[in-house]
Amino acid sequence: SGAVSMDDEGNPTAVGDLEQQMKNCYADLEKILNHYGCTFDDVVVENVFTTDMALFLEKSSYRNTIYTEHFPTGSWLGVKELALPEIMIEIELEVYKAD
């Protein structure tokens, strides 16, 4: 599953604030994980797409509060644009949950 910073009506939130957009993405992803009985400890792949890699690198230490057991594999990709011009970051996760 992937997430961007949007409200329930599909409007971009935290426009111009990559750090808050990142926090909003993780909050939404946590809701999805919880719905399926998972946590960030079950994430095996995390891909981050951002329109401002330098700023993301500056703010990426926030991930230390998300991944407290281990960091997943994945890629960080700088892109020209995302679905809407206001969106600065998209975070995509893959999860493995053993039975």
CATH number of the domain residue 43 falls in: 3.30.1330.40
How many structural domains compose the chain?
1
Separation CA 53–CA 97 (nearest Å)? 30
Each residue's pLDDT tens digit, 64-85 = 999 999 999 999 999 999 999 9
Range of the domain at 83: 2-95
The predicted structure's pLDDT at residue 1: 66
Q: Is the pLDDT score of 31 beyond 80?
A: yes
The predicted structure's pLDDT at residue 34: 97
Task: Give the percent of the chain with pLDDT over 90.
Answer: 95
Residue 79 φ/ψ, nearest 5 degrees: -125, 160
Confidence of residue 99 (pLDDT cuts 50, 70, 90): confident
